[in-house]
Amino acid sequence: MRVVLVTYGSRGDVEPMTGLAVRLQALGAEVRVCAPPDFAELLDDAGVPLTPVGWPIRALATGAIPGKAKVTLSDIAAELTAMAYEAVAGAAEGCDAVVATGSFPAVAGTRAAAERLGVPYVFTTFSPCYLPSPHHPPVRRPGQVIPPEVTGNRALWDLHAENMEDMFGETINVHRASIGLPPVSGVRDYVFTGRPFLAADPVLGPWRETPELDVTQTGAWIRPDERPLPAGLEAFLAAGAEPVYVGFGSMPMRGASAQEVSRAVIEAVRAWGRRVLLGSGWADLALIDGRDDCFLVGEVNQQALFRRVAAVVHHGGAGTTTAAARAGAPQVIVPQVADQPYWAGRVTELGIGTGHDGPTPTAESLSAALAIALAPETGARAAAVAETVRTDGADLAAKLLLDLIGRGGPAVSEG
């Protein structure tokens, strides 16, 4: 059996797909991942072949697309739709299923390729808040203004569908016409389908049943990480009490410079008498002085590291939230965009940490949040919740997917 996994997104989108790819390979499937070129080394280390899609994702996230001084959202959407279609149409010819997540235009191009090839297509999300439901509102876009007369979750989701149609409907249908496919109405539901996978832990991100969607929640797709921690980091950890880890992953910080944010977070942690472990990330966090109570790391094995820290301060990506929860580390989430406010809310509701008020931490605001995260009762609750986090999500999803193929699933998922 051959399966193609597609994502156009950051490390938080690619890592779970890599976890699914590894489990599918262990079950005897041939797997290829279509993803941004940034992740060639990651996938090569995992033993999974890559078909590159689109521009480097960091270039897009920072507005530095090679050869493009200025582009509009419409331009980006059109090119991503086409680039994803071309990559998937080439990689998925003769395959048995296509699984997709990530950027909406890229997933629309992926579904068009699956439709054209006549192979099953499964949409996946890593956060419940992206799926239409009467139990929660849609994720609000930065700067979006909701008309005062639009209230209630169902009305908000109806508005969400209209907005998605306005933003992407024409672009997607122009592309479909160019490849000989008929137009679609309701592009959001066309991309999401009526039977999506939800790759989120049922305790951390539960799905409440709704008649609108038939959702399969598998648990998070976690790839076991056996990499040792760097020698310098091991020495730092051994030299004193557990530090507080601060890192914002694939997320440039808003509202302040890297130097300002670095100083604020270091001062906040020091105010609690704790050592500081900084993850540089896309926020470009850096040391502010030569004191030996701080250490700087780049990309690192979070599964090993988070078990050895007093708390984790991060941006609230689904993967980092799950990794910290699984390790039993109390969390402070400083949400920036997308589903990050949702995860901040869940961490707060579960009592395993707190959400920071606003996207830009100051020494005072982060110190206040750390008062909650470092409290003994939060640590006890985080340890208890850690015991409930599923680790078999990727295995379950792989078996479900192969079962779908074996039963001769629909050419394209319904809905």
> Per-domain residue ranges for the chain?
2-222+391-406, 231-386
| CATH code assigned to 2-222+391-406 | 3.40.50.2000
What is 231-386's CATH number, 1.10.510.10, 3.50.50.60, 3.30.465.10, 3.40.50.2000?
Answer: 3.40.50.2000
Task: Identify the pLDDT of residue 141.
Answer: 82
pLDDT of residue 292: 96
pLDDT at position 142, please? 76
Q: Which two tokens stand for residue 260?
A: 């300002």
Asked whether the beta carbons of 52 and 8 are under 8 A apart, the reply is no
152: left (phi over 0), alpha (psi -120 to 50) or beta: left
Write down the pLDDT at residue 68.
Answer: 67
Residue 91 Cα to chain centre, angstroms? 23
DSSP state of 275: -
pLDDT of residue 259: 94
Burial class of 123 by CB neighbour count within 10 A (0 to 12, 13 to 18, 19+):
buried
Res 20: pLDDT? 98
CA dihedral 219, 248, 43, 338 (to 10 degrees): 60
Tokens of 283: 């926020």
* Complete edge-to-edge strand list for the sheet that includes strand 244-247: 294-297, 276-279, 244-247, 311-314, 331-333, 353-355
Cα distance between residue 130 and residue 233, in whole Å: 37
Residue 295 CA to residue 236 CA, distance in Å, equals 7
pLDDT of residue 85: 97
Whole-number Å distance between alpha carbons of 114 and 146:
35
Give the pLDDT score at 70: 64
* The two domains 2-222+391-406 and 231-386 share their CATH topology (first three levels equal): yes
How far is it, in rounded angstroms, from Cα 264 to Cα 241? 21
Pairing state of beta strands 311-314 and 331-333? Answer: parallel
pLDDT of residue 246: 98
Residue 121 · residue 114 · CB < 8 Å: yes
- Write out the chain's pLDDT in tens, 415 residues: 999 999 999 999 999 999 999 999 999 999 999 999 999 999 999 999 999 998 898 887 767 676 666 677 788 899 999 999 999 999 999 999 999 999 999 999 999 999 999 999 999 999 999 999 999 999 988 778 899 999 999 999 999 999 999 999 999 999 999 999 999 999 999 999 999 999 999 999 999 999 989 999 999 999 999 999 999 999 999 999 999 999 998 777 777 899 999 999 999 999 999 999 999 988 899 999 999 999 999 999 999 999 999 999 999 999 999 999 999 999 999 999 899 999 999 999 999 999 999 999 999 999 999 999 999 999 999 999 999 999 999 999 999 999 988 887 655 555 4
Give CA–CA dist 184/191, Å, rounded. Answer: 10
The 10s digit of each residue's pLDDT in 257-290 is 999 999 999 999 999 999 999 999 888 999 999 9
Q: Mean pLDDT of all residues in the chain? A: 94
The pLDDT score that the predictor gives to residue 104 is 96
DSSP state, 147? -
